Structures are given as structure tokens and as C-alpha cells.
A and B are shown apart, each in its own frame.
Chain A
Amino acid sequence: MANVMEVYQLLPKTNCKECGYPTCMAFAVALLGKEKIIEDCPPLIENPKYEKKLEKLRELLAPLMSADATETGMIIHTDKCYGCGNCVVACPVNVANDPKGTALGFGPKSGRAILMVEDGVIKCVNVEECRRFGPEKILCSACIVTCPSRAIEFV
């Protein structure tokens, strides 16, 4: 998982404001929050002296930008997933939204669960209900710590 300092180190660090942010640090935060993309920093793209940094930054942020990452930043490595459903049952949102299904260890029964197992692997739906989503977000890690194969991470 990338952190702000790591991202910042790979930016031009000139605070040129061309991205629309007052500092490179602010832009780094925006990148991690998926509010901006790397291409929003013109010097980094255009100036050949940043070529190496650009390459490294792309590498660092690849998981975050990938199609796999949901809007909460959750990445599910389906190749590692056992489909055991631990995260489905432990997720506090599932428990609250689906008291007759996932809360009791079954598959979802209410249509309001956010994690479920399909075709033998975990799938995230109704993302907006995840506690890591939206302005009030909190750093919930119920699905990460209950996974036996560490198939879930947040970027």
C-alpha cells in the first residue's frame, strides 16, 4: 500500500501549482484519494528529467488505478481468495444490513450485503455502504484481518 510520503518523493517537489493544488504534497494526497490522476501533473509527464520518477510512480500507483480496485480502494486478489466467506460474515456492514443471512454465517439474504462469494471467490458490491467510503469514512479492517490468504487489501 502506497503512502503519501512515497508518492510525494516521486513528484517534482517544485510546488509549481500547475496541477491546481498549492503544493506537491497536496497533489500527492489527491492522487492517493483518486481525485487526480498522474497525468494531471504536466511537468512530470513532459519533462524528460522526471522520466524515472514517472515510471516509478506509475508502478507504485498501479494497484490503486487498476480496474480491480473498487471506489473504496479495496483490491481483491481473486487468485488468492479461498471463497471461505470469513470477510462476508465478519463485515460489520453485512451484519447490520443482512441480519438473517451473512450475520448468521449464510450467504446474503437481503440484497444489501456488500461482500459476497460468487463463483468461488469474493466480490464487492454496494461499495458505497463500505465504512471506508464517503466523507465519514473510518479505517475498518474487518475483511482484511479475517482473510486466511490475505487476498484483500486497501490502497
Chain B
Amino acid sequence: MAVCTGCSLLCDDIELEFEDGKISLTKNLCRKGEGRYRSLREDRLVPAVDGAKVGFDEAISRAAELLGDAENPLLFGWSNSSLEAQRIGIDLAKKLGATIDDTSSFCQGYLMEKVLRGEYPTCTLDEVRNFADVLIYWGSDPSSSQPRHMSRFSYFPRGEKRQRGYDEDRTAIAIDVRKSPTVVIAADGFFRIPPGGDAEFIEALLAALGGKIPKVKDKKMKKKILKLGSTLRKAEFGVVFPGLGLIYSLKDEIDKLTPLITRLNEVSSYKLIPMVGHYNMRGFNQTLLEETGHINRVSFKDGVEHGTQFAVTEAVNDCDALMVIGSDLISALPAAISKKLARIPTVAIDPHRNLTTDMARVTIPSAISGLEAGGSALRMDGVKVEFEPVIKSGYRSDVEILSRIMEAV
């Protein structure tokens, strides 16, 4: 059995058939995972310096030079690297006195921190499968982002206390601004809210949970929310799966979620599992937390410092060298920030070509984890999953690349 690193579910029941050393058939991989497997042969990166192809060793030494000479290097990415690679990455940042940040910084960071610090109750996806009866997909769309979430864990499978099938045993609620593919399935429990309307919805829900009439103009919606309040109260084991939709909508008011989580746990028992995208974002957050007391946005220039000034979006203003690993940072950020990035000398480590590698001064191709390189990672719920490489390739793992850079600086 192979492990898919296509998303943070780390599906570990993947079966493969081979012909002439190549994968000829995959079983149980979703389309997203299949895409990752197919990418083995597509658009692979080559080692290069200033656009000219070089040998691997040359690329390593130029990368080390570029980072070693910098005053304020920034190391970014990490959520697509194994735990082992992340650990070396943190050591490298220490050695360089660099700033280190990962994708959670503009993604699930806030909620992940609450979960990792034990401020929000959480559970494993296996517990969800065995016990959960009320599922709230809030601003998240597993059907598109973690395609097997609902079939492997949350909605459809039978579990210890959920033997009768989803239609009798579980209630799926989707709160979203649009009719996402997940909403198509959870049609009965769909709450369509206007963009940015999450804070108001939280207020309304708090009222309904307290037996008060929610302040909602739309009469139908008011009734629906009241009914939702009673469904939520009756739950035995509820789980909230918040996605980026909720986080980006609440922005600075993200704290508003806390009273709701507290209230839900007064009326019944509710857990929260952030819907992480990349396969090992949680791994990085946890490792850095253990190491420094912070999940992201850390500078090692002067001991350990933490703050929004070390968030990638801010840190790009001061850094004079950048290393991006396993992330297409340029595509992920708004154009104004990306423009700044284009001026910073960059080392990009990635299995594939992308906008960031295209503009990087030094590119170092890496092995695809789970396929060409082994290691371990934390699933979105914190369960550690180990994986072995399934095919031989000449590409080096992140671990090897980072160790070599570390030796060379």
C-alpha cells in the first residue's frame, strides 16, 4: 500500500500496479492524488543558476552562497515537505539566523495554533468516522480540496457508533457563500451566506443556541437557523471543519469563533479540525511550536523572535535572500507582494516548474514525497503517517538537499 501526499488526508490505502518500472494502474487514488502521480512525468524542474542548467552540486553550492551571504534570509514553504525535512529546515534557519515561515501564515495558521495549543477541542478523523453525528463544513469544500474526506472519514463510512449509514446516522451541514460541490451532497443542510457574512451568522447561531430569536431579516433563514440550533443541541458528537472561506471572511474578527466553539461545548460536545490543504502543514506548525513556542513567523536572527513582521507577506520587505521550498509563493500572493519578490535573489526547491521557480536565481529539483522519497507527515488531524518511496528516481529528497545546503553554508 502506498501513501498519497496529494492533500492532508494522506490516504494510506493506495494500491499500485507497475509495468516496466512505471506505474500502470492506480487504485483508490482520487483525481487530485492521481494528478500528483501523473505529475511524475510532467514539467519537472532542472538544476539551474540564472536560467542556465548546471549540475546538482553546483546548484547546491550557489544556493548555499546566496543564503550564507545574506543578512536577512527568509526560508519559506515547508507544508509540502516531510517532518524530517522540516526539522532540518528549522536547523538551517537557526544556523543562518534566518526568518522562517510557512503557508499557514496566510492560511489555517490561526486555527491550527488554537488546536495545537489545546485551546479548541479536537479529535482524530478516525474518531470522526466512529462517533461523529453532526458535521459542519464551514467555508470548506472537501469535495474539491480533500476529495476523500467525506468518504473515508466524515460523512459516508460506517463506524463503531455509526453503523446505519450516512442518511440515518449523520447530519451534514454546509455553510458557504456558494453552491460548492460539497453543498451538492449536503443539500438539506445548506446555509448560504453573503460574502463576509460569517460573523453575522455566528451571532445568529449563538442566539439560536441560547433559545433566542436570531436577528436575521430573511424569515425563512431565521426559521432555518432556529432549527439548526436545535439540531446542533441534539448532537452527540459534533465536528466543525472550518476552511479558508471562514478564515478569510472573518479576517481580524477570527476570535469571534471562540465563543461559538465554547457555547457548542456547553450544549453538547464539539470538536474542530481545520481543513488543511497541503499534506504536512500541520507537521511544520507542530515541529516549530515544539522547537520555539510558535507555529510560524519566527526569526532566529536574535535568539527566537516571533511576530507579524516575520510573516512572509511582511518579511519580504526586509529580506535580502529567499529560499522557497515546495510552494509556488509567487502565484499564492497578491500581485503587489509578488512584484517585490521578483527582486529578491531566490533559491527554489521543488519537484516541478512553477512561477516561483521560473523567477528564481537558483533552482534545485526535488523528489516527490510519497512517490520518490520516504518520510513521515502529520495528517490534518495530527495523526502521524509514514511513507516509503514507491518508485526509484534520480531526484534527491528535500532531506538530502537541505542537509547538503546546511553543510555548505
Contact = CB atoms under 8 A, between A and B. Distances in A.
Interface string A53-85: 000000000000000000000000000011111
A33 interface: no
A103 interface: yes
A104 B158 contact: yes
B28 A86 contact: no
Given A85-B151, A89-B157, A106 B34 contact: no
Interface residues of B, number: 34
A104 B148 contact: no
Contacts of A118: 25-27
Contacts of B156: 86, 89-90, 105, 146
A81 B35 CA distance: 13
Contacts of A11: none
Give the contact-size bracket for chain A: 20 to 34
Contacts of B30: 82-85, 117, 120
Interface in B171-205: 181-182, 184-185
Contacts of B230: none
B150 interface: yes
Interface string A98-125: 0000011111000000001111110000
B13 interface: yes
B165 A95 contact: yes
B183 to A, nearest CB: 9
A82 B143 contact: yes
Contacts of B33: 83, 120
Contacts of B31: 81-84, 120-121
A152 B149 CA distance: 20
Contacts of A84: 30-31, 143, 147-148, 150-151
A117 B129 contact: no
Contacts of A88: 151
Given A103-B158, A104-B158, A90 B166 contact: yes
A82 B147 contact: yes
Nearest to A121: B31
B129 A89 contact: no
B321 interface: no
A81 B32 CA distance: 11
Contacts of A86: 150-151, 155-156, 185
A148 interface: yes
Given A84-B151, A85-B28, A106-B13, 12 more contacts: A84-B143, A86-B155, A86-B156, A103-B158, A105-B129, A105-B151, A105-B157, A107-B27, A116-B27, A120-B26, A148-B181, A148-B185
22 contacts: A82-B144, A83-B33, A84-B30, A84-B31, A84-B148, A85-B147, A85-B152, A89-B157, A90-B156, A95-B165, A103-B157, A105-B152, A105-B153, A106-B28, A107-B13, A107-B28, A117-B27, A117-B28, A117-B29, A120-B29, A121-B31, A147-B184
Q: Which 10 A-B pairs have the closest CB atoms?
A: A120-B34, A105-B157, A107-B28, A148-B181, A148-B143, A83-B30, A105-B152, A83-B31, A84-B147, A85-B151
